Every structure is written in structure tokens, then in C-alpha cells.
Amino acid sequence: SRLSLWGGRFSGGPADALAELSRSTHFDWRLALHDIAGSRAHARVLHRAGLLDDAGLDAMLAALDELRADVESGAFVPAPEDEDVHTALERGLIERAGADVGGRLRAGRSRNDQIATLGRMYLRERARVVAGLVLDVVDALVEQARSHPGVAMPGRTHLQHAQPVLLAHHLLAHAWPLLRDVQRLQDWDARAALSPYGSGALAGSSLGLDPEAVAADLGFDGAVENSIDGTASRDAVAEFAFVTAMVAVDISRIAEEVILWATKEFGFITLDDAYSTGSSIMPQKKNPDVAELARGKTGRLIGNLTGLLATLKGLPLAYNRDLQEDKEPVFDSIDTLEVLLPAFSGMVATLVFDTERLESLAPQGFSLATDIAEWLVRQGVPFRVAHEVAGECVRVCESRGIELWDLSDDDLASISEHLTPGVREVLTVEGSLASRDGKGGTAPVRVAEQLEGAAAAAQEA
């Protein structure tokens, strides 16, 4: 009969509509191999506790091996009447080992501790893959930075020209948040590395099974401290959803700039043909679809996080079926990043920068005004006055339609007695960049240092 897991106290099977609602195999089947690994570990602790004899253990492990091979080959798949991955695999086990041996495996475990454990196993595995893909984006940014030493560009705040910066400095400003995201995945792993197996439905097991042994067998650092927490908490899943959403947000901020930079108005970059798309009607179009999809899909990852948090809010202890809803959001976040990140790193790696244009725009928009003010401060002028004087220079230039370096010696002198021709030494992009030489600043020597720092951090991660 259908739903054989709890036949005893029921007089009939569930309504079709309930079975339809309940079924989760279409999304939890991806946990099948982890479930089988959990079952092998569980069989071993049952044996150690004297609940399975030697022959029983051998038969059980042989049947689980066979089942694993059949899952891998696709010969065994969930049937419509299987509620979830655990139900399906129990059926598969009993088909292979017989009801006597197969029916012993369920002792001392519940689908509640099983699913909590499998979820962590799966997420820990995918976290490593996602981190590797994020590092590929970091590598692409670092390589672009490395291959454009000394190229200046307009640095912006409020999207307005602010101060000249090195292109490499700007690119690395996108690399560091991604490196922190990789660290977040690693920190997260230390918290996720505790196994809920042995928590049972919520209260633990009376059968003398060793949760630490199962944990070690499954590659965890140890077993959870509290069986209720082990089965009811999903903060490990929510935190994973946050980190993946943060990755997407960090990628999306790069994407937005790529989209802007590829416009005629900015003209900073050309996208490689392999990473751009055309238009079905406008023959001239070359569209930044990779970046737009990155920006767009970020909305999904944010939604996955907020949806999951909303599911968890208000759930009483311990396990509630609501918790089944933890899987689709994070699975979607993983799947989305796993298709997005390779395309994104390819796009970044193949960007071609119009360095001449970047350099010529760098000093425009009066972006050297701060350099005038700071030069005055070095001459002993209070910053309040210096700021005023530099502002006056901008005002004069703006009204005459000229740039700061076009001001004559007489213009300068008439704006302020402090403005001697010596100020011209900072009215160049090179002078401005070189002067910002504190740690983290845009001076070429500092940017070269942080480039090596970022490359080393990516290597070690």
C-alpha cells in the first residue's frame, strides 16, 4: 500500500490530493546518494549496538551498494506513490534486501534527523563548488587588474566624477567582497559541520546508537549538542541562502557597471562576441545579456532567502512539515549560481577596456579639485579655506567652460594669494594618483601591493 511507513494505525491510504501535496521526490531526489551514505553509516551503528548481526550488516550494505548503483545509473527512480526521497529509498532497499533485513534499517532514526543531516551534507558539498566558481570570478578580476597597470579612470561617487583612480584599484574593489563571500562560505561550514543523525524524531534514540560515530562516518566534525535543535533548526540553511544571495548581490553590482560601461555614452568597454548577444530586429545591437541576467537572477536569490526566513518565522519546536519547504529555495540558489558564475567569469575575463578613453576622462569633471585643496593644506592653509578656494577654481572654470589646468597664473592668483603656479604639479592625473599613497589608496605602488594581496588570498582560499 501507499505510504507504508506508518500503515499500522491507519485504516486506509491517504487521499490522492494529500499524496499530491505531500510528494517531494521531484526536488529532494538530488539527496538520494547522501541518503544512502547516511543509511550505510546508520547500518554500521546498528551493528555496533548489537541490533544487526554480521550477516545482517553484510546483506544490508550489499543491498545499499546495489541500490546506489541503480540510483546512479537511473535504473532506480522514485515511483509516484513514494512520498519523499527516504520513502523511495526504503522501498528500493526492501526490494533488494527483503523485508526482514531491509525493514531493520529504520530503527533509531527518523526522517526528521535524516533530512536535517542530508541537507547539511549536500549544502557543504555545494558550498565548495560555489566557492570555487566565485574564485574564478575573482581570478578574472585580478587578471584584468594585472594586465592594466597604471591605467587611470574616473572614480565616481553618486555616479558623478569624484577623483581619478586606477582601473586596477576599481576592479579589485569588486574582488575583495567576493573573497569575503568565499570566507563566509568557509566560516559557515564550521557551523554546518555538525551532524543531526541520532536526534531521531526530536528526543534522541533509546537504542544505544552512537551519533558521534555516524557523524565521523559522514565527514562531519561531530554530532549536534541538542536533538531538538538538530531536527528543528534551519539556520544553517538560511545562512547558506544569505551567503549565496550576497554573492549574487556582489556579482550584480559588477553587472550593473558592465551594463553602463558598455553603453555608447560611457564607452569604457567592449564585450567579447562570445559573451554578448544580438538583436533579432536591430542588426547593430550587441547586448550585455550575461550582466543583465546576473542582475536579474539576483532578485531570485534574495527572494529565496526572504522566503525561507518567512517559512521559519513562528515555527514552534520541534520538527514541522513546513520545514520541507527549506529545500527548493536553496537548491534554486545553488543551481542559479552554478550556471551564472561560469558565464560571468568568462565575460569579465574577456572584457576589452578602452584605456585611452578611460584615461582621458579621468581628470574631467573637475576631479582634481580635491588635489588643489590638499595641496593648499600642505602649504599650511586650513582645509576650510582650502576647500573654498578649490571650489572657487571650479566655479570659474565652469563659467568659462574650461578645465582646472587651463587656469592661468593670473587666474589662480586672483582666486587666492595661496594659489602659486606650484599647484600645477598636482593638476595631473599621475600626480593625483601618486599622492594617494596610504595603505589601500590608489597610488600605483599601493595598488600593486593589494593586487598581490588579492591574488594570494584567492590562492589560499
Catalytic site residues? 158, 279
Task: Kindly state whether residue 117 participates in binding ligand ARG, applying the rule CB under 6 A.
Answer: no
Closest approach, Cβ 96 to ligand ARG, in A, equals 22
Pick 111 or 446: Cβ nearer ligand ARG: 111
Q: Which residues lie below 8 Å from residue 174, measured CB to CB, with a gap of 6+?
A: 141, 250, 253, 254
Number of H helices, E strands in the chain: 18, 6
Closest approach, Cβ 190 to ligand ARG, in A, equals 24
Closest approach, Cβ 22 to ligand ARG, in A, equals 8
**Where in 295-324 is the site for ligand ARG (CB under 6 A)?**
319, 321, 323-324
Pick 76 or 319: Cβ nearer ligand ARG: 319
Per DSSP (E only), the strands in 415-460 are none
For the chain, the residue count is 461
Report d(CA 431, CA 327) in Å as an integer: 55
Report d(CA 432, CA 363) in Å as an integer: 9
* DSSP code at position 405: G
Total residues in contact with ligand ARG, by rule CB under 6 A? 10
Task: Kindly state whether residue 111 participates in binding ligand ARG, applying the rule CB under 6 A.
Answer: yes
Q: Dig out the grid coordinates for 289 from the structure.
A: 545579456
Nearest to 406 by CA among 418, 415, 397: 397
- 115, 172, 224, 245: residue in contact with ligand ARG (rule CB under 6 A): 115
Task: Kindly state whether residue 121 participates in binding ligand ARG, applying the rule CB under 6 A.
Answer: no
Task: Kindly state whether residue 90 participates in binding ligand ARG, applying the rule CB under 6 A.
Answer: no
Q: Give start and end residues of each alpha helix (H) in 262-319.
A: 289-312
Closest approach, Cβ 83 to ligand ARG, in A, equals 7
**Where in 6-25 is the site for ligand ARG (CB under 6 A)?**
24
* DSSP code at position 424: G
Closest approach, Cβ 110 to ligand ARG, in A, equals 7
Task: Kindly state whether residue 84 participates in binding ligand ARG, applying the rule CB under 6 A.
Answer: yes
Amino acid, res. 306:
T
Task: Kindly state whether residue 269 participates in binding ligand ARG, applying the rule CB under 6 A.
Answer: no
Task: Kindly state whether residue 91 participates in binding ligand ARG, applying the rule CB under 6 A.
Answer: no
Burial of 63 (0-12, 13-18, 19+ CB in 10 A): buried
Binding-site ranges for ligand ARG (CB under 6 A): 24, 28, 84, 111-112, 115, 319, 321, 323-324
